[in-house]
Structure 1
Amino acid sequence: MVLGVSGGIASYKAASLLRLLTESGHSVTVVPTEAALKFVGAPTWEALSGRPVHTDVFEDVHEVPHVRLGQHADLVVVAPSTANLLAKAAHGLADDLLTNTLLTARCPVLFAPAMHTEMWLNAATQHNVELLRSRGFSVLEPASGRLTGADTGPGRLPEPEQIYTACVNLLDERPRDLQGKHVVVSAGGTREYLDPVRFLGNRSSGLQGYALAEAAIARGATVTVVSANVALPDPAGAEIVRVVSTEDMRREVLSAAADADAVVMAAAPADFRPAERVDAKIKKTPDGTTPDIQLVENPDILAELVRTRPEKKPMIVGFAAETGDDRGSVLDHARAKLERKGCDLLVVNDVSGERVFGQADSEVVILGADGTEAPVPHGPKLSVAHAVWDAVVDRLGQ
Structure 2
Amino acid sequence: MSYYPLSTIPDYFGMDQFLSDEHQLIRQSVRDWTEAFVMPQIDAAAQEHHEIPGLMKELGNIGALGPYIPEEYGGSGLDQISYGLIMQELERGDSAVRSAASVQSSLVMYPIYEYGSEEQKKKYLPALASGDITGAFGLTEPNHGSDPGSMETHFEDKGNHYLLNGSKMWITNAPICSIAVVWAKDESGKIRGLIVERGTEGFSTPETLHKWSLRASRTGELVFDNVRVPKENILPGISGLKGPLSCLNSARYGISWGVIGAAVDCYCTALQYTLERQQFGKPIASYQLQQKKLAEFLTEITKAQLLCHQLGVLKNHQQASPAQISMAKRNNVKMAIDIARESRQMLGGMGITGNFPMMRHSANLESVITYEGTHDIHLLITGMDITGINAFS
**TM-score, length basis structure 2:** 0.24
**TM-score, length basis structure 1:** 0.23
* Structure of higher CA gyration radius: 1
Whichever structure has more strand as a proportion of its residues is 1
Whichever structure has more helix as a proportion of its residues is 2
